[in-house]
A and B are shown apart, each in its own frame.
Chain A
């Protein structure tokens, strides 16, 4: 569905990607994680056709994104971190924007708006940043595009809205859709994504499915000093230590995305060795 091959991209003074390759399939929610400035947004913009690769190629749904052909644009939707919604009532937003997306479903949109508790009578200018973002997310989901790119979608959302966001996104995925969510707020996506891709300094540091991660790694709190010492990664906490160990028993443990992220960034080789074995 999305193929990035040998992507080279940089801004005037900073090289971001030097040969990045990535393949994203339909039916998954990908979590694109990384520190600020590592190129997450740049990668999404390249996929959306807002930036053009300097070398290498990107193929999304059989299209070259940079050509921005209408058939491509109507099957992809991007929720940028900083977004614009024209100042108009929700009804007008639907009336003048939805016809561009052939798979737009108004019932879905109304359901999302209700779930997000958005007052329908307000114009965009009368809404808070979080409310506007929820309108945009609802619109993007209702477009039912094959590719949905979301850049820091939970920024600006309150605690309740983040939980609603996870619920709504989880209910939207089907076998024909590919959802890519870029964030540095890893906790927000923990129960949502089914594949973790960590980018650092323009390269893929880690790329595994959540199933594979939880099958091979165990995330838990340990009080056992031997276990803590032998752990692949450990972090002291108020009660015991949060550790990542090899999952030798085949127990199912809950993924601690924040801990995994820290482990990859600080001790990536040790974690990778588990998957390479």
Chain B
């Protein structure tokens, strides 16, 4: 038997985890659906002219994803904050890696898929109602009918290209992983503590880059993150200092794809050293 990871044991653990938590997970999804219905209903009341424009659907999807995804991730290791549940959790004969991967599967992967499905189910139904509301509203005002609003592809941006939403998603997974780490790191009030800690770290980084590192740099500013620094020079005009392509590519790759996994590794270490 492998002490670090065993596929059969992991599947057993996933089955156990699902059986013990499915009611909570399904209720959470129902709550997310209910909140989306309430939000769209509110929009139909305050803005009957165009309640579910494409931009509004995108904003709703991503704001909802960030809020509920982070809240959900901060509860994924809730058992560890309750003595008897923590004992049950830690003494279940599965490896820490299997327990962490289960948390990632449910808290990150399945959450994202389920949220997207719930969003589209609600969006599809509410769009039908919304189009009806708009058409009734315009009819009452004796205005020309508008073409019905279409269902949106939330992964394709209409304004700034596909890259923009892709980056938003990467940021989401990183922030969500931070909340997942917070749920294993902190014993109580994980959501608030992670939020505050995240803000402190962010402010520290901003301070570090602008005040500490900035003091070593020539007079100027970062023009493009990781790649180009603009030096202000009154005689020669602005001078761009560009990092070698390979270096900026590595930095960009690391920032895009390794932040979330790095936070999972920290969560793994923290889980292994958890005492109760």
Contact = CB atoms under 8 A, between A and B. Distances in A.
Interface of A: 45, 48-52, 68-71, 73-74, 76-78, 80, 82-86, 88, 92, 95-97, 99-101
Interface residues of B, number: 26
A165 B273 CA distance: 34
B192 interface: no
A239 B91 CA distance: 49
Given A50-B276, A99-B12, 14 more contacts: A49-B90, A50-B91, A68-B91, A68-B96, A70-B3, A77-B91, A80-B84, A80-B87, A82-B84, A83-B88, A84-B84, A86-B88, A88-B19, A100-B12
Nearest to B2: A70
B15 interface: yes
Nearest to B95: A70
18 contacts: A52-B273, A68-B91, A69-B3, A69-B95, A70-B1, A70-B3, A70-B93, A70-B94, A73-B94, A78-B87, A78-B91, A83-B87, A84-B88, A86-B19, A86-B20, A97-B92, A99-B12, A100-B94
B15 A96 contact: yes
Interface string B73-103: 0000000001111011011111110000000
Given A70-B95, A78-B87, A78-B91, A84 B82 contact: yes
- Give 9 nearest A-B pairs by CB, closest first: A73-B93, A84-B84, A74-B93, A86-B20, A100-B93, A96-B16, A84-B85, A84-B88, A69-B3
Contact of A84 (B3, B12, B87, B95): B87
Contacts, number: 71
Contacts of A96: 15-16, 19-20
Contact of B1 (A51, A71, A83, A84): A71
Which one of B16, B90, B93, B94 has the highest number of Cβ atoms from chain A below 10 Å of its Cβ?
B93
B230 interface: no
A174 B3 CA distance: 28
Contacts of A97: 16, 92
Nearest to A75: B93
A88 B17 CA distance: 12
Contacts of B92: 73, 97, 100
A99 B3 CA distance: 17
Interface in B1-49: 1, 3, 6, 9, 12, 15-16, 19-20
Contacts of A73: 91-94
